Each structure stands twice: as structure tokens, then as C-alpha cells.
Structure 1
Amino acid sequence: MKKTNVPIVTLAIFMTTFMTAIEGTIVSTAMPTIVSDLDGLEIMNWVVSIFLLMTAVSTPLYGKLADSIGRKPVFLFGIALFVIGSSLCGLAQNMIELILFRVIQGLGSGAVQPVAITIIADLYTLQKRAKMLGLNSGFWGVASVIAPLLGGFIVQHLSWHWVFYINVPIGIIAFLLVLVYLREPKHKSSSKLDLQGTIWLVLLLLALMFFLQDLGSNMNLLVMAALAVLIVISVILFFRAEKRAADPIMPLSMLIDKEFFALNNITLLISGVVIGFEFYIPTWMQGINGTNASLAGFAVTPSSLMWIVGSFLIGGMLGRWGIKKTYDYMLAILVAADLVLILVPIYTPFWVFCIVAAFNGTAFGAITTASQVRSQVLVPKDDIGVATSFNTLMKYLGQTMMVSVYGIAFNTMVAKGLAKHPGLTQAMMNKIVSAENAKTLASSVVPQLRQVLLGGLKAVYIVSMIVILISILLNQTYKDRKIKHE
């Protein structure tokens, strides 16, 4: 049997990473135009949410299948599904169709992202693996930087449909490269798929994600209670099924491992810190600094650029310091950066946020890549696919959970601020967060509105600080040993 062409397969993996990474930001950039064309402002958030939900709930299943039947068929299936979903999204005639087609795209993404990382683990030794995962994260960072510019160009010069069509040629080329150049021995797995465990896990994740999506909203309390009951029942029945299964979808030995538990909970928490920074800083720029929409997004660009640097440096850091010290140093950087956001005065120059973004990005890139490497070396080789998928799942859960928690903190403080100023209204707050719409407000109320907005934003970063400190405590469960060079 011919050997795998490692450079070409690695290139294909980087292409799929770029493809899935660019999709999130580029769709957000094009969303106002899509809504204007298809209508459906009230369900706009589901275009993003349903993609996230489907990606999250499918990753554990794909991870198990990758360990059971092989990486190649699962990876190819994911790429094909993502390309088909992208094509259909581009053809959507209304928002309902677009949301349904995003389900297909999300199910494809659930296979592409974790299985790509698993294949890297198969192709490279531990020392090289850290570097290649860093490079893979680099492609993710590059995609995050260029996506807003590319999205704006596509919407302005082509049409929003091409935001989705752009994935098709990239996906087809990557599919063909993997099909031809990735060779792996045939997997002869006599074990049956853990169907009961899979069903209860999917139900658990769906209920949890829907619960988190609507946390703090005006959703019916009865529905929230029903979801909470479903979560509890699903947890109990999932663990019962895993105890009985001959080949569980998620081995309990992995879940009760102290280091693995801490590692993935840190991943969950830090993913939440990332989303808090990237989501709210542009609002700070527009609402308080009065920066226009185009420039506001660039306040977080240094984070994406330095993410690449952190990803590249992590291999050497792990070899020199070990996982515990590396995490301690990176988490200390996040503490310092978050402290700046909590303490800065209301009128803070744009460049200060760029510096904060640069330090945050370095730490984010290092921690993300290290968590991928560490989750793979803490489990037996046969469970690498499951471990990688679980690590990816925790990122999505962290983002979803913390967006809801931040929303509660932000809205609570804004409501308190408005209560102190009877002349201010929620309608005014909706205008102040846009530099363009803020021009329509009376100049006398703008300083007060900005002060209220600042209170909400600082509440977000106080919550973020608590999350980072919890991560530091979890990190103390590690044994401080170095990763050996292979």
C-alpha cells in the first residue's frame, strides 16, 4: 500500500480549517444584507445558532466513528456534507430555508474540525504535532483576520450568495487531495456503535445548548424547566448507558480522569473568555469611543494575528516549561489584560485596546493549541478521536454558555444604569451602540448613555476575570511535567 503524502494531506487539512473558520465571521459580516434580502430579522440569530448547535452535538459521534471505522471516511463525509450545505445555503430563497441548510453545513463542520486535528495526531510525532497544530491554528487566525474584509468585498461587488459558494471550490479540492493522498489501514471494528449512549448524549447536548441559548431571555419558564428536567434525565441515562456499553461513545475512564477533566474545563472557560473579548470590544469601540463600524472591528485584529504567534510558540513552551507552568503564564497574561479592561477610564485610546488584543491573542493561541495536544496525550491512542472531539465540543459549550452569562451581566447593569437616569430609555441605548445612529441623539444625553454602556461592558469583563481565576485554580490539578521531544 502506498504511503500517505503527508505534506499534501496537511495542506488539505489547512484548507478545511480555513474553510470552516472563515464561515463564522464572513456570515456575520454579510448578515445585514442577507436579512435585507430574505427578511426575517426576528429569527436572524438562528442562522448562527443552529450552525453552532449542529456542530456541537455531532462532534462526539464523529470522533467515535473516526476511532472505529477510520479517519478518512469520516473526514471525507464531513467535507462533502459541508460543501453540499454551503451550496444549498447559497441557493436559499428565504430565512427558513437558510436556517435548514445551515443544519446540513453544521453537521459537516462537526466532522471536519475535530477529525482534521485527529489526522494531524496520526501523521506527526508529539514535538512536530504541537508545531503543526500551531500552524493549523494560524490558518484559523488568518481566516478570522481576512473574513470581515472578504465578506464586505463579496457583499459589495458580488452578492451575499457567494459568502457560501466560496466554500465549494475549496472543499472540493481538499476532498480530492484527501481521497487520493491519505492512506490508512482498513479499520476492522467488531464493536457496535453505542446507540443508546449516542442518543442520550445528543439529547443532552441539544437540551443544554437550547437552555444556554435562551438563558436570560424572555423564554417561557415552563419551557426552561422542561429543558432542565430533560438535561438531568439525559445525564443519568447517558452515564447508565456508558457503564453498560461494550464500546462506549465516550469512555467513562476518560471523563473521570482528573487531568483530562481539568484540561477540558479550562478549554470551556477560556473559550468563553475569547468570545467575551471578541464580541463586546467592537461594541465598546462604537458605543463609547464613537469609532465607525469598519474601524471598530480592527480593535480585535491584533488578537487574531498574535493568536498565530502564540500557536507557533507553544511547542517550545511545552517542551521547556511543561503544561502547568505554560498555562499559568498564559493565564496570568489574560488576568493582566482583563484587569486593564476593568480599570480603564471611559475615554481610552484605540491603541490601548489593540495592545490588550495582542496580549490576549498570544495567550488564546497558546492555550487553544496546548489543549489540543494535551487532550490527545492523556488518553490511549484508540481514544484520540473521541478526546479531540470532546475538546472541540467543550469550546462550543464554553462559547454558548458564556455568551448567555455575559448577556445577563451586561443587561442587568444597563438596566440598573437606566433606572438611575429617568430621562434615558432602552431605545436610546440601542442607538448609542452604533456610532452612526448615535449622531441622531441629543448631545446632552450621549455622555450619560456612554457611562451606562461602560457599566454593562465592565460587568462583562468582571465576569470574565472570575472565569480566568477559576481556570487558574483548575490548572493547579496538573502534574508539572514536560512533554518529551520525540
Structure 2
Amino acid sequence: MHAVPPRLPPGVTTAAPTRASVGLRSDRGPILGSVMLSIALIAIDATILATAVPAIVRDLGGFTQFPWLFSAYLLTQAISTPIYGKLADTFGRKPLMLFGIGTFVVGSVLCAVSWSMGALIAFRALQGLGAGAIQPAGMTIMGDIYSVAERAVAQGYIASVWAMSAVVGPTLGGLFSDHLSWRWIFWINLPLGLFAAVVLWIRFDEKAGMSEPHERRPIDWAGALLVAAASALLLLGLLEGGIRWPWWSWQSAVALGGAAVLTLLFVRVEGRVADPVLPGWLFRHRVLNAATVAGFVAGVVMLGVTSYVPVYAQQVLGAGATVAGFAVAALAIGWPFAASTSGRIYLRFGFRACLFLGAFFGAAGATILSLVGPGSSIFLLAAACLVLGLGLGYVVSPSIVALQSAVEFRQRGVATGANMFARSVGSAVGVAMFGAIANGVVADRLGGADAAGAVKLEELPVAVLDPALQAVFLAVAGCALLLVLGALLMPSRVGPAHDSERATAE
């Protein structure tokens, strides 16, 4: 691990070391391993069913319902994340992490014994509720037990888990479905989840590493229910609009309009409670705003790359599934490398400089991606993903370190949860935006939406599919430029002692 230098440059400040960074030093390796394993489980389960859907449909039926296997999981995970972040500050990171692992494991067991598609969808939603607790609690634990200098390495490990899961998940799903049973996709979570929970239970003494005790306050149940309902309607409208129903339809109006109404009601309620689930200072904090923009844009860009690059590699360039996976795997190389080396940059030059570097790589990678054509090599596609991965690694991970350094111990959970939620919303926006762009180009080339809807993906000629995906890649490039906004918002100095906005908000 990196050691904290005796004098930090402008842009980085740290508080005095706590027992979390001293007394728990011998236990931090097992704790990191437990968090990585837990996050790997929830990340893989977001994609592992992609190649197992045919086997599940053959066994349970319900072909028209199977998209909800993904939506139910992602929806409940996303809407619960900001709430769990607040609860981590109230009840502690360890209890919440153990609750999340337990809920996820129970949901996995129920998924494994599902008797119908409806039951499997419901239990996937339960899995998502567990995943929603694991993600913010795990990331907050990393902020608690590692110093600013050491968090870059720890975030590099976590980033590698997310990046590799996007590649490993579908592969494992196919192997289980072909050689065992799709039910083993869920059974495998039982021993791994219990192992992670036992290690965390034994090795993580949260009270010994606390710089201050958790303050128990009344839970803002009204705010929690309103933010969950508003988030659910927003994500439902974004995920299903243009797919299950047209954008200009009463269903979209109900979902998105209802989300807007509930959001306004949420703001009104939160202004009257003593301890809101999403405090107002979150939205007035410059460091958190910068990290939120970075997380949101990263969610949008990641969705465009991981969803459409494999399709382009196979359907336009004629590559096989394995080679197409290699192109996306380049992203899984660039992101962890950048995340683990970012500490050297922000410790010397500051977080803003690191984010600008990430924005440069992100824009460069997206530009390369937009230049790919039918005659391009698969290596050019992989190079674009590699450079994009570097950009995301130099933006996302340092942003999380910055926000965890800019708030006090008792606000770290809610700040981390809000950032995770922003990334989830970004992914949902990416689904809606890129899907609408691709479908619009296909419909234009085929002479209307009805003609386009009657053609399967594998039946689309290259002359139609190539411009559709090119339009998506151009949109990815445009979104990548927004990473500069996150860098511009990041202040020159980061830390509670130098954050006048935070003091003013309090």
C-alpha cells in the first residue's frame, strides 16, 4: 500500500489518522477480500443471466416476461441504494453489510428453487434489495479503513471486480446452463456469500476503528418511501420506455410524470424533518456534485460500451463471441489500472487534475470508437475500449475518494450511497437514450418503426446496423465530453477542514 507523504500538495487534505487506519491494519486485507467478494457477487448477478435466458425459458416458460429478470434486480438495487447509504451512517457499516449479504443469499436460494417465471422475477427483486445494501456499505467501509493515499489501490481492486464481472458474468451463465443447470447460477452464491459474511463478522471490528460513534436518530420513513417510489417510477419509465411501450404514451406519462410529482413531494417533506434520508447539503456540496456528475456520466458511457461494442464486433465486423468479449475485456484492463495508479496523480497534483486527465482519456477513447467502421480491425475496437477504461478509471475512483475525504465520518455512508445511485440512474438513461438512437436510425433505414420492429437483430444488414451503431458511438463520444464538467466542478482543495460550503450548510 502507498504511505501518506509528509506533505500533501494543494488539492488534497487529510485528517489525523484514526484507529481505522492504524488499529485495523492487520485485518484490512481480509476485510478488503470480503468486500470484493460481496461486490463481485452482486456485479456478476447483474449480467450472468444473459446467456442463461433460453434455458430458463425452456424450464419455466414466460418468454415475454424474461426482460424483468434484469429490470427487477437493477430496479430494486438502484432505488434502495441511497436509503441504505443513510442507514449505514445511522446503524453502522458492518450491520448493514451483513444484512445485505444475508438478503442477497436468501434471494439467491429462493431464485434457485423458483417454480415459475413470476416467482423468479420476484426473488430477483429480493436479490436486488440485498445488493442495494452491499454496494454503498462496502464502498463506505473502504473509505473508513484506508487513508486517502491508500484508497487509490483499494479502489483499483474494487474497479477490477466491476470491470471483470461484465465479462465473466455471461461466460459463467453459459457454462452453468450448458453443463449443469441454470439454477447453479444462484446456488453458487450461497457458499461464497456465507464465506464473505463470516470473514467480515470475524475480522471487521467496526467499533475499534470508529473515529466517532454512530448517532442513532429517528428514521425518516416518509422520505425513504417517497425517494424509493419516485426512483422506481423514473427508472421504470427509462428502462421500459420505447421497449414495452412507446415514449409518447400514457404509460410513459404516468411513470415519468409520477416520478416528477413524487420528487417535488419528497423535497417538500425533507425540508420539514430533522434528519432527512437525503440531506439538502448533499446537493449544495461542490465535491459531491462533481462526483455525482462523474458517476452519472460514467454510468451512461459504460452502458453504451458494454451493450453495443459486442454487437458491433459480431454483427458488423464478423467476429466471434469470444473475440467480441476480448474487445470489451480491454475496458476491464484500463479501468483498474487507472484506478490503482490514480493516487500518485491526485496526491501530487490534486483531484481536479486527475479528473481532467480522465476526461482527456475518456474523450480520446470515445473518439477512437466513433471512427470504427465496417473495415476496421477488432484491435481498433479493443484500443478504444482500453483508452475509455483509462478515462473512467481516472475519473470514477478518484471521485469516490474525494467525496469520502470531503465529508465527516458520520456522513460518509449517505454521500457514497448518493453517488452509487447517480451511476445507476446514468445507466438507465443510457439504456433509454442509446436504444432510442439505434432504433430511430434502423426505422429510418427500413422505412418506418413497424418495419423495423418486425426484423430481428441478426437479420439486419450491415448497411442498416452499421450506421445505427455508429450513431450510438457518436452519442457515447458526446457524453464522454461531459466528464470535463465533473473536473470543472471539483474544487482545488478537498477535505472537511477546507470545505467552506459544507460548514455553511451545517
Q: Same fold per TM (> 0.5)?
A: yes
The alpha carbon displacement at 1:216 in A equals: 2.4
What is the CA–CA distance in structure 2 between the aligned matches of 1:259 and 1:275, rounded to whole Å? Answer: 25
Residue-by-residue CA offset, 1:103-155 (whole Å, 9 max, x unaligned): 11000000011100111111111111222122222233333343333332222
* Cα 1:36/1:310, change in 2 over 3 Å: farther
CA shift digits 1:380-422 (9 cap, x unpaired)? 22110001111111111100111111011111111111129x9
1:37-436 pair list within 5 angstroms = 37-185=59-207, 189-217=215-243, 218-219=245-246, 221-419=249-447, 427-428=454-455, 430-432=457-459
Residue in 2 that maps onto 1:467 = 479
SS at match of 1:407: helix
Contact 1:13 1:116 in 2 (8 A): yes
Q: Is the 8 A contact 2:355 2:486 kept in 1?
A: no
Residues 1:171 and 1:429: Cα distance change in structure 2 (over 3 Å):
closer
Does the 8 Å contact 2:293/2:485 carry over to 1? Answer: no
Distance in 2 separating the partners of 1:425 and 1:122: 52
Q: What percentage of residue pairs aligned between the two structures are identical? A: 30
The TM-score normalised by the length of structure 1 is 0.90
What secondary structure does 1:24 align onto?
coil
Which amino acid is the alignment partner of residue 225 of structure 2?
A: I
- Between the aligned partners of 1:301 and 1:429, the Cα distance in structure 2 is 26
1:29 to 51, 66, 79: 51
Equivalent residue of 1:249, what SS? coil
- Structure 1 letter corresponding to 2:458: K
Shift, 1:355, TM fit? 1.3
Tell me the equivalent position of 2:3.
none
Do the aligned partners of 1:320 and 1:482 also contact (CA within 8 Å) in 2?
A: no
Whether 2:490 is the aligned partner of 1:478: answer: yes
More deviation in 384-393 or 358-367? 358-367
Question: Equivalent residue for 2:29?
Answer: 7
Q: Distance in 2 between matches of 1:298 and 1:95?
A: 32
Whether the 8 Å contact between 1:432 and 1:450 is mirrored in structure 2 is: no
State the distance in 2 between where 1:425 and 1:274 align: 26
Residue in structure 2 matched with residue 439 of structure 1 by the alignment: none
**CA displacement 1:168-216 (0-9 Å, x = unmatched):** 1110011111122221239563420011211211111011111111222
Root-mean-square deviation (CA, aligned residues, Å) is: 2.3
Is the Cα–Cα contact under 8 Å of residues 319 and 482 in structure 1 kept in the other structure? no
Q: Which runs of 5+ in 2 are unaligned?
A: 1-18, 497-506
1:337/1:356 contact within 8 Å kept: yes
Task: State the SS of the aligned residue for 1:206.
Answer: helix
CA distance in 2, matches of 1:36, 1:294: 25
How far apart in 2 are the matches of 1:346 and 1:483? 49
Q: How many residues align?
A: 467
* Amino acid across the alignment from 2:242: G
What CA distance in whole angstroms lies between the structure 2 residues aligned with 1:411 and 1:430?
A: 11
Q: Is contact 1:191–1:246 with CA below 8 Å preserved after alignment? A: no
